Structure 1
Amino acid sequence: MPSSVVARYDLLGMALALVSGLALTALQAIERATGGWGLSMRFFRVPYLLSGSWYATWLTATVILFALFVYGMWYGIVYSRWGPLGTLAFLAAQALVAVAAVVTVSFEHWHLWSATGGSFAGLTALGLTGVIAALAVVLLAGGHVTIRRATV
């Protein structure tokens, strides 16, 4: 598949994420203005992630949605290149990495989210947005490497 086509899909994903993030931010503004839809309800103000200013909400929502788009796109590329068995192996490899990370954290007694230790303990919502953005770039690069030999 030509790289110009891949770039168009990436731009489409970014445009969808930007517009969806803007819609979520607008709905959050309406929610704040109406006092939680008149019921003190918080549907669009997710604690910690989407409870900041409008631009932080927009940026965080956009980055998360784009990361999800890229992750899903990579699954589609893997399926296109290696079929159902390759997709299952791809999923199994990710599960293995996640289990290995959890076991390592458990055995090393790392307190990643506690108030006293770990590198993620003092991470703000915008800091987490930066981590997710870096992850999205890694996923995007992995997708581009995978698609180089995929047949359409």
Structure 2
Amino acid sequence: MNRIIAVARLQAVGRRDGLLWPLVVLSIAFAVNLFVFGSMGDEIGDRPVTGGLASVYITGLAFGAVAIAQQFPFALGMSVTRREFAAALGLFTLAQTVIYAVLLVVLQAVENATDGWGLRLRFFGLGFLDAYGVPTQLLIYAVPMLLMSLIGITLGTVYVRWHTNGVFGAICVIVVVLGATAGLITRYGRWPAVGEWFQDQSALTLFAGWPSIAVVLLALLSWTALRRATA
């Protein structure tokens, strides 16, 4: 366990940019939204949701992929086993996710207390979150962040295992599967049923429950690819 913690600390040092850049991107998106909606004055309406919060999740995905490609070869060179590397990466990713989730919950509370930063704006909050307690809010913020990180990590493990052809091959498979699914739903006119299914899901199920299943599947897929990777 001590060795896994040591490897996680090594990853934290090597990923300082990965920790900071999502916050930098989030801050820039926030500043831009404040400027744009502040310029609108009374035309802003009643607390619109800007969607800018997605920036931190997308950045987390990107750095998850880069972390594997950069750190896995170095870890092998330092005689770190694949199991130790995977366990340390999981520990680091979980800690990072918790930190971001706590930060977002705090910022949402500040946003509510200041009536949307004095502009009736929703940047960190999503409206429906106000109906839930802090533990539920943490899950709704954290699990999608964990999912995005796992998507990036999975792409990174595919790269170190099968290199560029593997990544493009995986993307092609995803596009084909999503396209075929959308085509079948359209062919049989099931889009209203799909919409009803989403409406019947609670926020906790939709943002934390189903994504948790995807997180587990991606973690297993990543480990399967990583255990045979040679960097």
TM-score by length of 2: 0.60
**Offset of residue 2 of structure 1:** 2.2
Query: Are residue 148 (structure 1) and residue 148 (structure 2) matched?
Result: no
1-side partners of 2:102 and 2:171: how far apart?
32
How is 1:1-150 mapped onto 2 (pairs within 5 angstroms)?
1-48=81-128, 50-53=129-132, 54-110=134-190, 111=192, 112-114=194-196, 119-128=197-206, 129-150=208-229
- C-alpha root-mean-square deviation of aligned residues, in Å? 1.4
For residues 107-136 of structure 1, the C-alpha deviation after alignment (integer angstroms, 9 at most, x for no partner) is 12212113xxxx333011101120011111
Partners of 2:102 and 2:138 within 8 A in 1: yes
Displacement of 1:41 after TM fit?
0.8
Tell me the secondary structure at the aligned position of residue 199 of structure 2: coil
Alpha-carbon separation, structure 1, partners of 2:112 and 2:127: 14
Deviations 1:60-115 (A, max 9, x none): 1110111111110011111111111111001111111111111121112212113x
Whole-Å separation in 2 of the counterparts to 1:77 and 1:38: 44
C-alpha displacement at 1:146, in angstroms? Answer: 1.2
CA distance in 1, matches of 2:195, 2:136: 21
By relative contact order (CA 8 Å, sep 6+), the higher-ranking structure is 1
Equivalent-residue separation in structure 2 for 1:30 and 1:82 (angstroms): 45
Which SS does the other structure have where 1:120 is aligned?
Answer: helix
Aligned equivalents of 1:46, 1:74: Cα separation in 2: 28
| Structure (1/2) with the larger helix percentage | 2
Q: Describe the shift of the 1:92–1:51 C-alpha distance in structure 2 as closer, same or farther (beyond 3 A).
A: farther
Structure 1 residues 41 and 101: CA distance shift in structure 2, 3 A: same
One-letter amino acid of the counterpart of residue 127, structure 1 = T
Gaps of 5+ in 2: 1-80
> Aligned equivalents of 1:99 and 1:82: distance in 2?
24
State how many pairs are aligned: 147
Going from structure 1 to structure 2, the CA distance change for 1:19 and 1:98 (only over 3 Å counts) comes to: same
TM-score (structure 1 length as normaliser): 0.90
Q: Secondary structure at the match of 2:228?
A: coil
CA deviations on 1:9-48 (whole Å, 9 max, x unpaired) are: 0111111011101000000000011111111111111245
